[in-house]
Amino acid sequence: PAGIGSSLALEAVDKDNASNAEILYYILSGNEGKYFDIIKSGNKSLLRTVKVFDREELNRQGVASLSVLVKAANSDNNWNYLSSSTCTVLVTVLDVNDNSPVFNANSYTGQVLESVTFNTLIPLTPSLTVTDADSGTNGKEGIVFTLKPSQDSSNFRVDRTTGLIYFNGTHLDRETKDLYILEIVATDELGQGLNATASLNITVLDVNDEIPEFNQTEYSLSVVEKSAVDTVVGQVFARDKDSGTTVYFVKSSFPFVITPLDGKILVAGNLDRKVLKTYWLNVSACDITLPENVGCNFVNITITVTDTNDHCPVWNTSSLYLTVTEQSQASTVIGQLLATDEDEDSYGRVTYFINDTASQTSFNVMPNGEVVLLQALENSGIFKIPVYAQDGGGDQSCIQRNVLEIQVTGKNRFSPVLCFNGTCGMSTVNVSSWVLGI
Q: What is the mean pLDDT of each run of 10 residues along the chain (438 residues)?
A: 73 69 82 86 82 76 81 70 82 83 97 93 96 90 96 95 95 91 96 96 87 94 94 95 86 92 95 91 85 79 91 94 92 95 90 88 94 90 94 90 93 65 68 54
- pLDDT at position 39: 87
- pLDDT at position 417: 66
Length in residues, the chain? 438
317, HSE (Cβ side, Cα atoms, 13 Å): 0
d(CA 217, CA 299): 7
**Total Cβ atoms within 10 A of residue 31:** 18
- pLDDT at position 61: 73
| pTM greater than 0.75 (yes/no) | no
d(CA 115, CA 211): 16
What phi and psi, each to the nearest 5 degrees, are found at residue 395?
Answer: -65, -20
Domains with residue ranges and CATH for the chain = 6-91 (2.60.40.60), 102-205 (2.60.40.60), 213-306 (2.60.40.60), 314-409 (2.60.40.60)
The residue among 282, 245, 279, 280 whose CA lies nearest residue 262 is: 245
387-403: burial string, b at 16+ Cβ within 10 Å, e else: bbbbbbbeeeebebebe
- pLDDT at position 434: 46
- pLDDT at position 360: 84
- Quote the radius of gyration of the chain (alpha carbons, Å): 60
